[in-house]
Structure 1
Amino acid sequence: MSDVENIKQLDLDNNLHSWSKQGDLNPEVITKAEGIYFWNEEGKKFFDMSSQLVNVNIGHGNSKVIAAIKDQADKFPYMGPGTAFAAKSKLAAKLIEIAPDNMEKVFFTIGGAESNENAIKIAKMFTGRHKIFSRYRSYHGATYGASNLSGEPRRFVSEPGIPGFVKFFDPYLYRSPIDFASEKEAAQYYLNQLREQIIYEGRASVAAVVIETVTGSNGVIIPPDGYLKGLRKICDEFNILLICDEVMAGFGRTGEWFACDNWDVKPDIITFAKGITSGYVPLGGVLVSSEIAEYFNEEKLMCGLTYSGHPMGCAAGLATLEVYEEENLIENSRNMGKVLGEKLEAIKDQHSSVGDVRYIGLFSAVELVKDKKTREPLTEYDNDQEGIMAGILKKLKNAGFSTYFHENILIVAPPLIIKEEELAVGLQILDDVLNEVDLMIA
């Protein structure tokens, strides 16, 4: 048995892989990653067109971040969360600088799920209320509380769940049963529904409304014009906290530091992870407003994690933020996002299997359908028994285009360092595979 075969067999014998039937696995053995590419054991090169799990924003192998991790390891690789040290203090200060100007403090976590878990606890402590609203087409993490917060099918295994979690409908215009005259009309319709639901649930019982500012894996659903400002208004009316989950959408992914900046909306709490270190080291956090920060000057914050503010994560995070600035990656995301949008629109026009494309910055989705007129999805919601989407993903992977899908939607979210010529080559692969999908539904 070769070394590569041994690595794969050891993996299959000893590791449990997430979201998978273990008997069906054939994991790729990866040997190298650099820039927007990675290579397998056979030397095959892949375009990383999802930035792995939409987290490797600065690309693979950035020497500055790697050096910062090494340097921190030489000083001390771990210190308890009750201490102060340079990397944690400087990173917190930098985050407050780039965040909306109502943010005052940060609580560091290990990743996105833990960020959302602690945001929920903070909201309940601050308001004294117990109900949390979140949307059906959402994913906020796989821990128990974050699963209950999530709306999509991955929450089902955590049910019956924790009392107090309430779901509401997304402004998902492509699948709306109503043909709205404008985005503003659509936004108002969904806001009116939410406001009525809050009243029915007992306005004085609702602690927070939690949204992915731009819905991530569930389809890159971009809020229509007026929706976020209207949501902010409803939360203010009922003294409800607005929590924006920016785990996937933050740190330049949408062409701004935080996605909420696109609409000039200031949440009460922002959760983050992924792009803060570009996945080089696990780290997440909860940004809180001045009002919430001041509340905990007198009240005990009942949140704690052994690895809160981990030195290695903080060092990586601080260096990563410097990379965003030094390499103008927020601007590049904005500029390349326009190119991505134009190319996706062309793909939509050319393919009978593409019902919709949605994009903001370098964050996009391609929604596949059986029929453009009826908008019938290529696979039923939570029911792809024939493995159609998995088959399409395999075709893309064989052609050197690595990404993932959710339901009938392909995610396209390359690293923010991508150049126009690289984007063109990568999307040509997608274009070619979609020709085969068109024939499949003909």
Structure 2
Amino acid sequence: MQTQPGVLLGAVLLLCPPVHAQPQDSEKLTQLQHQITELKAQLHLLEQQIQHTKAQTAGQDQTATPGAASVQENSTSVAEAAENQAQDGIVIGGAVRTNFSHTSYNEGNKSRGGDFDFDIFRLNLNGSIGDVLLNSEIRFFDYMTVLKSAWVGYQFSPDWQVQAGITQVPFGNWPYNSHNYFFSPNYYLGLEDDHDLGVLFKRQLADNWQLDLGFFKNDELGGVDGYVSSRADRYSYDVVGIRAAGEDIYAEPGSAIGEYNSMAARYGYHLQHGDWRTELGWSALYGGLHDGQHKAGHYSAYALHLNSHYQRWNLQLQHTRYNYSVGDAVQMAVGAYGFYDSIATDANSSNLNLAYSLPVQWGPISNLQFYNDFGLVYDKSDGSANTMMNVTGVAVTAGGLFAYIDLVHARNQPFIGGSVAGNSDDTERRFNINLGYYF
């Protein structure tokens, strides 16, 4: 993972190049999407007014002045032109990405001097047909094909939008609680960039505040009894089972479980003073857990978060607590990227992220974003050791190319030689370059 009415809408669409969601351009993209959404809503209101005026004019006698008739015809043709433009509004985009890694925890990788692998090929569909919005993304890996998102939406007022389908669960710093390729440890708990099947109501930023309210029937694979070959073949992490005592933390769980009837709310209040722009917010989640035949328990999470911008600097802070209440269980099985892992049923998480963006003119390179993202998961109910991840890196923008160059130090962190349910005291290292071409 975008107008004044009529002619101005067409001009904006012609003058603005297609916008593709490169990862660290998310804030600018969100602002642009909000502006275009608001202008589309204004266009819709204008069309309603035109239809009302036409109805009134049809009942009048034929003594209207030529000037008035001319204005009406022009207004109607403008609305029709804008409608035709909107009907042809689907943009196809995507990316091809490769990845280089050199790790401390894989002897083979170290002896080879690192590994260079294919990462993903992805396709995105974004836009609208008539008044109906569309957003979808499918990702092709060597070992699986997954839908990250697939929703349709409608802007039913200038401030409110509804989305239905596989859409992002509103929680925490938005849209990401991180700057780097690996996200934060929250992602591996299912609490960052999570996508589920449901309905989301979004209040656009107005009067300094915004609100997201969602109801999610189940996860993106259809819940505990979804018709899939593997419940680990998904983009975002979800709970897929209860981890029994003595069960391997990476095994497919013996007791399947799934989320259902989840509710989510995210509120953000925006402050601005000179060059300072800050969002203060809170998020909350609550939902049920089902074993396929009976209700098995419930889960909840909340977060307090801050996302602040000062000139080229960005500061993110977040504190999160989550809880899974399923009998006497102390660990839950989670799945994503073709793998199973485990997490404690209850834990705290804290994040501190700092980034600095530097515009440059070095050949095709136009921007460098330097960052340090730190995350810690602690006070775990299963008694396992803390999970820590610190990522120091730079994101490089060069035309259609976008690269993350990351140096990761972590303990008990998935994809850095560990598990959230691990008990290692060793700090592992991974040097990683993810290079993608976005179109």
Q: Decide which structure has the larger Cα Rg and report it.
A: 2
Give TM-score scaled by structure 2 length.
0.20
Hey, which of these two has a bigger chunk of strand by percent? 2
Larger RCO (CA within 8 A; separation ≥ 6): 1
Give TM-score scaled by structure 1 length.
0.20
Hey, which of these two has a bigger chunk of helix by percent? 1
